[in-house]
Structure 1
Amino acid sequence: MNTTTNINISSTQAAYTISSVISKDGTTIGYRQIGNGPGLIMLHGANVSGLDFTQLAEALADSFTIYLPDRRGRGLSGPFSKDYSIQEEVEDLTALVNKTGAHLLYGVSAGGLISLQAALSLASIEKIALYEPAILTDGTTHTAWLTRFDQEMAEGKVAAALVTCMKGLELGGPVMNAMPNWLIESLTNATIKSEDKKAKPEDITMRKLAPTLHYDGLLLAEMSGKLESFRAVNAEVLLLGGSKGLPFLKPSLDALEKTLPHVAKRVEFPGLEHGGSNNPTQTNRGSKPELVAQELRQFFAKA
């Protein structure tokens, strides 16, 4: 599939080519493409899609050909399989790398974890930038929410399930943990309904993304304690994070800095949270993709 569409990003209209690739198991993986120059794939994390990187892509499109895939279960891409694992994500990314010839990766959260795992088998990857990759160094502490989440989703309690996930991953910090669940659920439900009313059929809403959190939870559990395997990553790596990022991922960045053999630099952005490089939204007001773009440009320009 090759078409052209106009997507509103930042203050300008930018033309994206929408294409797809077929993964090893026959699943379609769709992606958007913009820019000119060396190929750079940006792999998003949980509860978002490739569209959340449009402002970041725009900031770099003058120097790189940017590919924004939707991971499985989201937007342009096909469904998860019954035997989902990180290998499935790696095969999806591998298919895109093989089609595009891209040698550069940028991964956020779960996308960063997948990027590292893929680099173990993709010798063509030269450089990887990681923003708070979702690598657990504390056992399965931050996957204990998954059972309750699955039960609430099965009962159709989407807002409650989202709150369970947010609290389980400490996404709201001490303030959210201090608030009663009924209040957070009420606010979350109101946000979901408001978004549903305004959404176009093709929009990737909170309600559509909610089921995908189950699979990101499985990914976290599967890869917990696998840090040592990344000593074999040959690509040069840039480690990024925000001073207000997820507390339980900072030790992971510390550990990666000591474990990865080719760390070029580590940067902490003052004031940025876990979604610091994503588009600013109502629930991600403090992001500054332009700041992250500066570091990415400098790092990848030397490729």
Structure 2
Amino acid sequence: MTMHERPQAAELSTGFVTSDDGTQIAYNTIGNGPGIVLLHGSMETARSHMTMAEELADAFTVHLPDRRGRGQSGPYGDGYSVRKEVEDLDAVLRETGAHYVFGVSAGGVAVLQAARVLPAIHKAAVYEPALLLEDIPQLTGWIDRFDREMAEGKMAAALVTSMLGLRLGPPIMNIMPRGLLTWLTGLLTKSEDKNAKPGDATMRTLAPTLHYEGVLLAEMADTLDSFADIQAEILLLGGSKGLPFLKPALSGLEKTIPNVERIEFPGLDHGASGDVSKQNPAARPEVVAAELRRFFTSAA
């Protein structure tokens, strides 16, 4: 627990803004104070970081967008790239007047790119941004098989393909038969579907978004040097139990970005900043929120 009390019955409002290509981006808002935009990661929506938002809402106005293609936001459209993510974030920043941003995983690499080109961003924090120092075939070459399995209606198999490709599961996954993994994943999705409430973001509804996360990962691979021109203050965050293939990027970014600070949380994993759930039981959003509070309230 933090020393800060969460607001009781804090009011959550929903707003909409139009991105440059006409796509509608939805965002939730809670709290009072300087604005912070929280940009979620893969297989998440705006509602995935509500605990963190509530932890910060006594001192900040927290805005939680649905990245395009999920939640209440519009579809990906044609020509998806990191530029679309930056334009969507820019639209939210212009609408809300916020100058602080936090991004997770794929959302984190979008935030770093935005920090290069958007003067409105004064400070940005990222948790294990999905940045590869080089284009590693195993980590970016799974998209074709994923797309084929999704097109054939084999969603569980496609989810396994993405998890194996991105090394998201425990090491035992690499020695388990793919058929068994697919069966177990199918059982999990059916159970989740059965217990889901109307409007809930489930693995089934979010599975199609993984294609675009793969596109983003491949596009941003081997772009480390470009972040040397970031003028904003940057806080790099990660967990000691985070994704091993993302740690080299954190070290590289620490050496590349001019005004940077890095913190590693002992014992925390890649999903630490999100809400606690059956899929994310080890989350500790209050711990990450405490560092965000310190960073975003400290003098420049």
- Shared topology, TM-score over 0.5? yes
Partner of residue 265, structure 2: 269
1:66 equivalent in alignment to 2:62: yes
**Cross-structure match for 1:208:** 205
Q: Residue in 1 aligned with 2:21?
A: 25
Q: Using the alignment, how far apart are the partners of 1:160 and 1:45 within structure 2?
A: 21
Give ranges in structure 2 of 5+ residues lacking alignment: 1-5
Q: How many residues align?
A: 293
What residue number does 1:91 align with?
87
Q: Partner letter of residue 24 of structure 1?
A: D
Deviation at 1:283, TM superposition (A): 1.3
Q: Secondary structure at the match of 1:93?
A: helix
Conserved 8 A contact 2:11-2:31:
no
Deviation digits for residues 145-164 of structure 1 (CA, Å, limit 9, x no counterpart): 11111111011111110111
Structure 1 residues 184 and 12: CA distance shift in structure 2, 3 A: farther
Q: Contact 2:7–2:57 at 8 Å: present in 1 too?
A: no
Code of the residue aligned with 2:279 in structure 1: it is T
Q: Which residue of 1 aligns with 2:152?
A: 155
Q: 2:239 aligns with which of 238, 242, 250?
A: 242
Q: Is 1:281 aligned to residue 277 of structure 2?
A: yes
Q: Report 1:1-303 matches (<5 A).
A: 13-141=9-137, 142-263=139-260, 265-302=261-298
Aligned residues with identical type, % of pairs: 57
Task: Return the TM-score normalized by structure 1.
Answer: 0.94
TM-superposed CA distance for 1:40, in Å, is 0.1
Q: Tell me which amino acid in the other structure corresponds to 2:202.
A: T
Distance 2:26 2:38 in 1: 13
3-state SS of paired residue (2:282): coil
Q: CA separation in 1, counterparts of 2:48 and 2:7?
A: 15
The gaps in structure 1 that reach 5 residues or longer are 1-9
> Could you say what secondary structure the match of 1:15 adopts?
coil
Following superposition, the deviation at residue 43 of structure 1 comes to 0.4
SS at match of 1:14: coil
Instruction: State the distance in 2 between where 1:177 and 1:96 align.
Output: 40
How much is the aligned-residue C-alpha RMSD, in angstroms?
1.3
